[in-house]
Structure 1
Amino acid sequence: MTGRQKKTVIKAPKGVPDYAPPASAAFVAVRDAITHSARRAGYGHIELPIFEETTLFARGVGESTDVVSKEMYTFEDRGGRSVTLRPEGTAGVMRAVIEHGLDRGQLPVKLCYAGPFFRYERPQAGRYRQLQQVGIEAIGVDDPALDAEVIAVADEAFRSLGMSGFRLELTSLGDETCRPQYRERLQEFLAGLDLDEATRARARINPLRVLDDKRPEVRAQLEDAPLMIDHLSEASAEHFAAVRAHLDALGVPYVVNPRMVRGLDYYTKTTFEFVHDGLGAQSGIGGGGRYDGLMAQLGGQDLSGIGFGIGVDRTMLALQAEGIDPSATGRVDVYGVALGARAKAAMVPVLAQFRRAGLRADMAYGDRGMKGAFKAADRSGAAVTIVVGEDELEAGTAVIKTMATGEQHAVPLDSVVDHVRGLLDG
C-alpha cells in the first residue's frame, strides 16, 4: 500500500449504544426521574458489581429461562472461576443483602440501583446487549400495600417525565400452595399439544415459560390453556385483591392481564409490566413483581421481596414516540462571555461563585470573537448570559442578558451572582 495508510476507525460493540451530548441529557433526565421517585419513597442507593459468580444467576434467575440458557455473558477469569456480567439486578441485590446482613435490621430493606446490564440478544430498537436500567427492591415484608407502593413509584416516575401513553398490566402468579397444582394442570394441557422437542423440554422444567412463546403456531395452540389467575389459593386471591384496592386508592390505573408471563423464574404473587404501544414489538418499558422464596434459595432467611426494573433506553424511546424531550432545559443556567484576556481573568472566579451557589455555569473558551461567543451561549441553553469586556471592567460591572427576551442591563460585578439568582428564582 502506497501513500498515507488509511486509519481503522474503532466503533462501539454491536448492540451497545453510546449516549453523548446532546442525547445524554435525555438519558440523565430519565434515569434521575426514576431514582428521584424512589428516593422520595425512602429507597436507599446500592452499588452492585458489574459481574458476579455465575452460580448466583443460575440459582436466582432460573436455569430454564432464556436469560440463563441463552443470553448471559459468561466467562472464566484468570483464576479459573466462572463469572457472568450481570443480566439483571434482583439476584445481585439479594446476594448483597444476605452478605452484609441488611436483612437483620429494620424491615423492609428498601434499595435502589442504576446502571448497565448485559444480555446477548439480537440487537434492534429498544433491545440492546448493554441495556441501562433503574431498579428498586423492597425486601423482608409481605404486604400488599408495599406491592402497590413499588408500582406507584414507577408510575409516578413516568408521569413526572410527561409520559401518558403507557399502561400498567397486572396479574398474580400465585404462591407455593397453589402453583404446584396449577403446574401439573398446565403440564397435562401442554402434553396434548403439537410441540417440538425443545419446547417440550422447557415445559418439563418450567411450563409457565411456554405460555410466553411468541411463535404464532404455538400461541394458537395456547388459546385454551389454563391460567394461573383462575387457580389462585384463597390467600393469593386475597393478596391480589388488596393490591388492586391500594392501587385504586392511589389513583394508579391498571388492566389485569391473566396471560402475563415474566421472563424470570423467581416471580410469585403480584407481577406487573408497564407497556407502551409506541415501541412496536419491544413494547415493555419496565416491570417486576414479588419474589417470595428467592432469598432462601440464595442461602438467606426465608423473607419475601418485591421490586421492578425500568429500562432507561426504552423509556427514552417511549418519550420520543410521544414527542417529549425530557432534556428541554439547557445544559447550563449561566453562560459567560469574556471579551479579552483581562475580562476572562475576571470571569473565571465569577463562574466559580455561580457553581458554589448551586448554579450550572460555563463560559466561552478559546478567545473566540463576540459573534462566536454568543452563538455558543445560544447552544448552551443558558437562561442568562453574563458579558464582561474592557468597558465593564473599567466600570466594575457586568452586562446580564436574559436569553428568552433579549433584555439586558448592567449590574455591579461583585453582586452579579445574587442578581442572577434572583432572576432565575423569579
Structure 2
Amino acid sequence: MSEPAHEVVAKVHREEWARIVASLTRRFGDLDIAEEAAAEAFAVAVERWPADGVPPNPGGWLTTTAGNKALDRVRREAKRGDKQKQAHMLDHQLSGPPDPTGAIEDERLRLVFTCAHPALAPEARIALTLRMVGGLTVAEIARAFLVQETTMAQRITRAKAKIKAAGIPYRVPEAADLPARLDGVLTVLYLVFNEGYLASSAEADPVRADLTGEAIRLTRLVAGLLPDEGEVAGLLALMLLIEARRPARVSASGELVTLDQQDRGAWDRTLVAEGHALVRARLASGRPPGRYQVLAAINAVHTDAPDARATDWSQVVALYDQLLLLDPSPVVVLNRAIAVAELDGAQVALALVDALAGDLDGYHAFHATRADLLRRLGRSPEARAAYDRAIGLAGNTAEAAYLTRRRDELAT
C-alpha cells in the first residue's frame, strides 16, 4: 500500500527542505526568497498531492515548483533597479548547467561547507547552517544554544541581513577553504546529531535516527576529505559511541532509559568497536587532543564498562578536568558534577551544581541533575520542585516521561 500523500509530504520535507533552500539561495542570492519559495512549494504540495496523487519524483517536483515561485517573486520586484535584468539571468540559470561541486562531491556536505562563510560571526554561521542544511526549526536551534527562541530568531535575521548588505556570495568552497571552515562544520554536525539522539521538541519523535544517521554519514565524508584532522576523527568516534547505545535508549513504553539502567547487551557492538579503535588511534598519535576527542574518550570509558558499577569514574572525572581546559562552559561543569557524585557523593556534587544556577536555570538537564542529587540526599520536597521544573523545560517526550515517573516515586 502506498503512503498517504500527507505522509509523503512530511517525509520529503525532512529529506529535501535543506537541499531546496540552499540550492535556491545559491541561485537567487537571497535566503529569504529561497525559504519563502520552498515554503510555498510545500504548501502547494499539501493542497494538491492528496487530490492529484504524489508525483513520480516528489523532490524534483518541489524543486521545480519552488524555483518557479522564487522566479515569480523576483519578476514581481523587477521594477526596482536592475531586478529585470536579474530575472532574465535567472531564467537562463534555471535551465543552465549544474552548480560546480568544488572539492566536495556530496551535495549536502557541500552545502554545510558553503554556509560556513568566515565573514559571519561563528554563532550566526552555525545557526544559519542548522536552519538551511540541518532543517532544524528556530526553536530547536535556540534550545541547542540555550537561548530564547526570539533571541535566536533575531540572530538569524541579522545574519541574513548582513549577507544581503555585504553581498556575501554562496560560493562553493575549494579544497584550500576547508580547514578554515572546519570548526563551524563540526559544530553543525554535532548539533544535528544531538538533536537526533535526543530531540528537543515534543512534536518530534524522541529519537530521530534520520538525523543521527545523516550526521554520522557526513562526518565520515569529512574524515575522508581531511584524514589528518584529529577533531574529525574524535567527533566521528563520539557519534559512533553514542549511537551504539540508541537501541537501549528508549523503553517499549516510550520512556527514556538512563545510561546506568540500559541493557548493554542491546548496544551495537560493531559501532562500539569502531569508536574505540578511533579513540585508541588518536591517543597513539601523541598529539594534544581537542574537545571532541576528549568527549569521545569519556564515552569510550562508559562503553568499555560491562555494567554501570564497573565504570571507572575517576578516569571520567580526570577526562572532564581535561575537557574544562578546552571548554570551560557551564554544561561541561554540570556533566563533570554528575561524575563527581559517583566518586565523592551527592552532597559534594550538589554544591557544584547549585553554583551553576545563574547560568543554567533555563536548561532542563540542570534541574534534572539537581532533582536526582536531592533525591539521593533524601530531600524529597526540594527534589519534587526540581523535577517539576525539569519536566516543564524538557521538550523530549521520553525524557519528560522518565522525569515524571522519578518525581512520582519520591517519598511523600
Structure having greater relative contact order (Cα 8 Å, sep ≥ 6): 1
TM-score, normalising length: structure 1: 0.21
Larger Rg: 1
| Higher share of residues assigned strand | 1
Bigger share in helix = 2
